[in-house]
Structure 1
Amino acid sequence: MNMLVQPQRTPAENALVDAFAERIASLPGNPAVVLKRDAAIEAIKGGLPTRRVESWHYTDFRRLLTNVPPHDPAAAAAAVEPLIAGSTVLAILNGVSARVPAAFSDVTVRRLEEMLLDGSFAAALEAQGDDDAVGAINAAFAGRSDVAE
Protein backbone atom coordinates (compact mmCIF):
# COMPACT_ATOMS: atom_id res chain seq x y z
CA MET A 1 0.00 0.00 0.00
CA ASN A 2 1.33 3.41 -0.96
CA MET A 3 0.56 6.40 1.19
CA LEU A 4 1.37 9.98 0.36
CA VAL A 5 2.23 11.80 3.56
CA GLN A 6 2.14 15.59 3.46
CA PRO A 7 5.06 17.01 5.46
CA GLN A 8 4.20 19.17 8.43
CA ARG A 9 4.12 22.87 7.54
CA THR A 10 7.00 25.07 8.62
CA PRO A 11 6.36 28.15 10.79
CA ALA A 12 6.81 30.34 7.69
CA GLU A 13 4.28 28.31 5.68
CA ASN A 14 1.82 28.54 8.59
CA ALA A 15 2.46 32.30 8.82
CA LEU A 16 1.64 32.72 5.11
CA VAL A 17 -1.59 30.73 5.42
CA ASP A 18 -2.59 32.58 8.60
CA ALA A 19 -1.76 35.99 7.07
CA PHE A 20 -3.92 35.16 4.07
CA ALA A 21 -6.84 34.21 6.33
CA GLU A 22 -6.43 37.50 8.21
CA ARG A 23 -6.18 39.67 5.09
CA ILE A 24 -8.46 38.01 2.53
CA ALA A 25 -11.46 40.19 3.40
CA SER A 26 -9.46 43.37 2.72
CA LEU A 27 -7.81 42.23 -0.53
CA PRO A 28 -9.44 43.73 -3.65
CA GLY A 29 -10.67 41.60 -6.51
CA ASN A 30 -13.61 40.45 -8.56
CA PRO A 31 -14.74 36.77 -8.61
CA ALA A 32 -12.09 35.79 -11.19
CA VAL A 33 -9.36 37.25 -8.97
CA VAL A 34 -10.78 35.48 -5.91
CA LEU A 35 -10.52 32.14 -7.75
CA LYS A 36 -6.87 32.83 -8.63
CA ARG A 37 -6.14 33.82 -5.00
CA ASP A 38 -7.78 30.61 -3.76
CA ALA A 39 -5.65 28.52 -6.13
CA ALA A 40 -2.53 30.38 -5.01
CA ILE A 41 -3.13 29.81 -1.29
CA GLU A 42 -3.89 26.14 -1.95
CA ALA A 43 -0.50 25.86 -3.65
CA ILE A 44 1.13 27.47 -0.62
CA LYS A 45 -0.74 25.09 1.71
CA GLY A 46 0.83 22.25 -0.27
CA GLY A 47 4.23 23.40 0.94
CA LEU A 48 7.04 25.54 -0.35
CA PRO A 49 9.51 23.89 -2.74
CA THR A 50 12.62 22.09 -1.61
CA ARG A 51 15.64 20.90 -3.58
CA ARG A 52 13.64 17.78 -4.44
CA VAL A 53 11.69 19.92 -6.91
CA GLU A 54 13.80 19.99 -10.07
CA SER A 55 13.42 23.70 -10.81
CA TRP A 56 14.41 24.48 -7.21
CA HIS A 57 17.32 22.01 -7.22
CA TYR A 58 19.84 24.62 -6.08
CA THR A 59 17.58 26.57 -3.71
CA ASP A 60 15.73 25.01 -0.78
CA PHE A 61 13.07 27.72 -0.52
CA ARG A 62 11.22 25.85 2.22
CA ARG A 63 14.32 25.84 4.43
CA LEU A 64 15.45 29.38 3.51
CA LEU A 65 12.12 31.10 4.24
CA THR A 66 12.28 30.83 8.02
CA ASN A 67 9.81 33.54 9.01
CA VAL A 68 7.24 35.90 7.57
CA PRO A 69 7.00 39.33 9.17
CA PRO A 70 3.53 40.54 10.11
CA HIS A 71 1.76 42.81 7.65
CA ASP A 72 2.22 46.45 8.60
CA PRO A 73 0.48 48.84 6.18
CA ALA A 74 1.97 51.80 8.06
CA ALA A 75 5.55 50.63 7.53
CA ALA A 76 7.65 53.26 5.84
CA ALA A 77 10.11 52.65 3.04
CA ALA A 78 12.84 55.01 1.98
CA ALA A 79 14.04 55.52 -1.56
CA VAL A 80 17.62 54.49 -2.27
CA GLU A 81 20.12 56.20 -4.53
CA PRO A 82 20.29 54.86 -8.10
CA LEU A 83 22.97 52.28 -8.83
CA ILE A 84 24.26 54.44 -11.67
CA ALA A 85 24.65 58.09 -10.74
CA GLY A 86 22.45 60.41 -12.78
CA SER A 87 19.99 57.67 -13.75
CA THR A 88 16.31 58.45 -13.97
CA VAL A 89 14.49 56.38 -11.38
CA LEU A 90 10.87 55.37 -10.98
CA ALA A 91 10.83 54.96 -7.20
CA ILE A 92 8.35 52.39 -5.95
CA LEU A 93 8.05 52.35 -2.17
CA ASN A 94 6.00 49.57 -0.61
CA GLY A 95 4.53 48.90 -4.04
CA VAL A 96 3.43 52.48 -4.71
CA SER A 97 5.19 54.88 -7.08
CA ALA A 98 5.92 58.32 -5.71
CA ARG A 99 5.68 60.02 -9.10
CA VAL A 100 6.48 59.20 -12.70
CA PRO A 101 9.51 61.20 -13.87
CA ALA A 102 9.02 63.23 -17.06
CA ALA A 103 11.74 61.15 -18.73
CA PHE A 104 9.36 58.19 -18.65
CA SER A 105 6.90 59.68 -21.12
CA ASP A 106 6.06 56.24 -22.54
CA VAL A 107 5.38 54.72 -19.12
CA THR A 108 1.89 54.50 -17.69
CA VAL A 109 1.38 53.73 -14.01
CA ARG A 110 -1.95 52.21 -12.98
CA ARG A 111 -3.31 51.22 -9.59
CA LEU A 112 -3.31 47.45 -9.16
CA GLU A 113 -6.43 47.64 -6.97
CA GLU A 114 -8.42 48.94 -9.95
CA MET A 115 -7.14 46.15 -12.16
CA LEU A 116 -8.03 43.54 -9.53
CA LEU A 117 -11.51 44.96 -9.01
CA ASP A 118 -12.34 45.00 -12.73
CA GLY A 119 -10.69 41.59 -13.27
CA SER A 120 -8.26 42.78 -15.93
CA PHE A 121 -5.31 41.51 -13.86
CA ALA A 122 -6.77 38.05 -13.11
CA ALA A 123 -4.84 36.30 -15.89
CA ALA A 124 -1.55 37.65 -14.50
CA LEU A 125 -2.25 35.85 -11.20
CA GLU A 126 -2.15 32.46 -12.93
CA ALA A 127 0.64 30.18 -11.70
CA GLN A 128 3.52 29.77 -14.13
CA GLY A 129 3.74 26.08 -13.21
CA ASP A 130 3.31 23.74 -10.26
CA ASP A 131 6.57 24.99 -8.78
CA ASP A 132 5.84 28.75 -8.95
CA ALA A 133 5.97 29.38 -5.19
CA VAL A 134 6.95 33.05 -5.45
CA GLY A 135 4.17 33.64 -7.98
CA ALA A 136 1.69 31.92 -5.65
CA ILE A 137 2.69 34.17 -2.75
CA ASN A 138 2.40 37.26 -4.95
CA ALA A 139 -0.96 36.15 -6.37
CA ALA A 140 -2.40 35.42 -2.94
CA PHE A 141 -1.46 38.80 -1.48
CA ALA A 142 -1.63 41.15 -4.50
CA GLY A 143 -3.34 44.34 -3.45
CA ARG A 144 -2.13 47.86 -2.84
CA SER A 145 0.44 48.49 -5.52
CA ASP A 146 1.15 50.17 -8.81
CA VAL A 147 1.69 48.56 -12.19
CA ALA A 148 4.06 50.25 -14.64
CA GLU A 149 3.35 49.60 -18.31
Structure 2
Amino acid sequence: MNRNIYQFVAALASGVVFAFGLSLSGMLNPARIQGFLDVFGAWDPSLAFVLGGAVAVAAIGVQVMKRMRLPVFDDSFHVPAGRRIDAPLVIGSVLFGLGWGIGGFCPGPAVASLSTGLPQTILFVVAMLAGMTLYDRVWSGRA
Protein backbone atom coordinates (compact mmCIF):
# COMPACT_ATOMS: atom_id res chain seq x y z
CA MET A 1 0.00 0.00 0.00
CA ASN A 2 1.14 3.56 -0.70
CA ARG A 3 2.73 5.39 2.26
CA ASN A 4 0.35 8.33 1.72
CA ILE A 5 -2.59 6.04 2.45
CA TYR A 6 -0.98 5.00 5.76
CA GLN A 7 -0.36 8.66 6.62
CA PHE A 8 -3.99 9.50 5.83
CA VAL A 9 -5.36 6.61 7.90
CA ALA A 10 -3.05 7.45 10.82
CA ALA A 11 -4.07 11.13 10.69
CA LEU A 12 -7.76 10.22 10.45
CA ALA A 13 -7.50 7.80 13.38
CA SER A 14 -5.69 10.42 15.45
CA GLY A 15 -8.37 12.99 14.66
CA VAL A 16 -11.16 10.59 15.57
CA VAL A 17 -9.50 9.71 18.89
CA PHE A 18 -8.92 13.42 19.61
CA ALA A 19 -12.53 14.33 18.80
CA PHE A 20 -13.84 11.43 20.89
CA GLY A 21 -11.68 12.52 23.83
CA LEU A 22 -12.89 16.11 23.54
CA SER A 23 -16.50 14.94 23.44
CA LEU A 24 -16.06 12.49 26.33
CA SER A 25 -14.44 15.16 28.50
CA GLY A 26 -17.11 17.77 27.73
CA MET A 27 -14.65 20.11 26.02
CA LEU A 28 -16.97 20.58 23.02
CA ASN A 29 -19.15 22.74 25.27
CA PRO A 30 -18.00 26.40 25.07
CA ALA A 31 -19.60 27.08 28.46
CA ARG A 32 -17.16 24.63 30.04
CA ILE A 33 -14.20 26.51 28.54
CA GLN A 34 -15.58 29.89 29.55
CA GLY A 35 -16.24 28.49 33.06
CA PHE A 36 -12.57 27.57 33.30
CA LEU A 37 -11.56 31.09 32.29
CA ASP A 38 -13.95 32.63 34.86
CA VAL A 39 -11.47 32.40 37.74
CA PHE A 40 -13.29 34.99 39.86
CA GLY A 41 -16.78 33.56 39.34
CA ALA A 42 -18.13 30.05 38.96
CA TRP A 43 -14.75 28.52 38.12
CA ASP A 44 -14.83 25.08 36.45
CA PRO A 45 -11.46 23.30 36.86
CA SER A 46 -12.27 20.39 34.51
CA LEU A 47 -10.23 21.85 31.64
CA ALA A 48 -7.13 21.81 33.84
CA PHE A 49 -7.48 18.04 34.25
CA VAL A 50 -7.98 17.55 30.51
CA LEU A 51 -4.93 19.71 29.78
CA GLY A 52 -2.91 17.82 32.39
CA GLY A 53 -3.82 14.52 30.76
CA ALA A 54 -2.89 15.90 27.35
CA VAL A 55 0.50 17.09 28.61
CA ALA A 56 1.18 13.67 30.14
CA VAL A 57 0.33 11.87 26.88
CA ALA A 58 2.41 14.35 24.86
CA ALA A 59 5.38 13.93 27.24
CA ILE A 60 5.27 10.17 26.73
CA GLY A 61 5.02 10.70 22.96
CA VAL A 62 8.07 12.98 22.96
CA GLN A 63 10.10 10.41 24.90
CA VAL A 64 9.09 7.68 22.44
CA MET A 65 9.94 9.96 19.51
CA LYS A 66 13.41 10.66 20.93
CA ARG A 67 14.17 6.94 20.94
CA MET A 68 13.11 6.45 17.31
CA ARG A 69 15.49 6.99 14.40
CA LEU A 70 12.68 7.85 11.96
CA PRO A 71 8.91 8.22 12.21
CA VAL A 72 6.80 5.31 11.00
CA PHE A 73 4.95 7.13 8.19
CA ASP A 74 7.41 9.85 7.10
CA ASP A 75 11.06 10.45 6.23
CA SER A 76 11.77 12.76 9.17
CA PHE A 77 10.25 14.22 12.30
CA HIS A 78 8.74 17.68 11.91
CA VAL A 79 9.68 19.36 15.18
CA PRO A 80 9.77 23.17 15.44
CA ALA A 81 13.32 24.45 15.67
CA GLY A 82 12.58 28.07 16.57
CA ARG A 83 12.63 29.08 20.21
CA ARG A 84 12.58 32.86 19.78
CA ILE A 85 9.73 34.79 21.37
CA ASP A 86 8.94 37.63 18.97
CA ALA A 87 6.07 40.06 18.33
CA PRO A 88 4.17 37.82 15.87
CA LEU A 89 4.22 34.96 18.40
CA VAL A 90 2.97 37.17 21.23
CA ILE A 91 0.31 38.87 19.09
CA GLY A 92 -0.87 35.53 17.71
CA SER A 93 -1.06 34.08 21.23
CA VAL A 94 -3.08 37.04 22.46
CA LEU A 95 -5.48 36.80 19.50
CA PHE A 96 -5.83 33.05 20.04
CA GLY A 97 -6.55 33.55 23.74
CA LEU A 98 -9.09 36.30 23.09
CA GLY A 99 -10.89 34.19 20.51
CA TRP A 100 -10.82 31.19 22.81
CA GLY A 101 -12.22 33.19 25.72
CA ILE A 102 -14.93 34.94 23.71
CA GLY A 103 -16.00 31.98 21.58
CA GLY A 104 -15.21 29.15 23.97
CA PHE A 105 -13.53 27.21 21.17
CA CYS A 106 -10.07 26.60 19.86
CA PRO A 107 -9.60 25.03 16.40
CA GLY A 108 -9.76 21.32 17.30
CA PRO A 109 -12.90 21.44 19.44
CA ALA A 110 -14.53 23.87 17.00
CA VAL A 111 -14.13 21.44 14.10
CA ALA A 112 -15.27 18.51 16.26
CA SER A 113 -18.29 20.55 17.37
CA LEU A 114 -19.45 20.96 13.78
CA SER A 115 -21.13 17.59 14.31
CA THR A 116 -23.65 19.32 16.59
CA GLY A 117 -24.86 21.52 13.72
CA LEU A 118 -25.26 24.58 15.96
CA PRO A 119 -25.25 27.85 13.97
CA GLN A 120 -22.80 29.54 16.38
CA THR A 121 -20.33 26.69 15.90
CA ILE A 122 -20.59 26.94 12.12
CA LEU A 123 -20.13 30.73 12.33
CA PHE A 124 -17.06 30.30 14.55
CA VAL A 125 -15.46 27.80 12.15
CA VAL A 126 -16.21 29.98 9.10
CA ALA A 127 -14.67 33.00 10.89
CA MET A 128 -11.68 30.89 11.96
CA LEU A 129 -11.10 29.68 8.39
CA ALA A 130 -11.45 33.24 7.09
CA GLY A 131 -8.83 34.41 9.58
CA MET A 132 -6.47 31.58 8.64
CA THR A 133 -6.93 32.38 4.94
CA LEU A 134 -6.37 36.09 5.53
CA TYR A 135 -3.19 35.38 7.45
CA ASP A 136 -1.97 32.98 4.77
CA ARG A 137 -2.67 35.41 1.93
CA VAL A 138 -1.57 38.66 3.60
CA TRP A 139 0.97 38.10 6.38
CA SER A 140 2.58 34.69 6.04
CA GLY A 141 4.93 35.84 3.28
CA ARG A 142 6.49 38.38 5.66
CA ALA A 143 7.83 35.79 8.11
TM-score (norm 2): 0.28
| Structure with bigger RCO (C-alpha 8 Å, 6+ apart) | 1
Which structure's residues are more often strand, by fraction?
A: 1
Q: Whose helix proportion is higher, 1 or 2?
A: 2
Task: Name the TM-score, length of structure 1 as normaliser.
Answer: 0.27
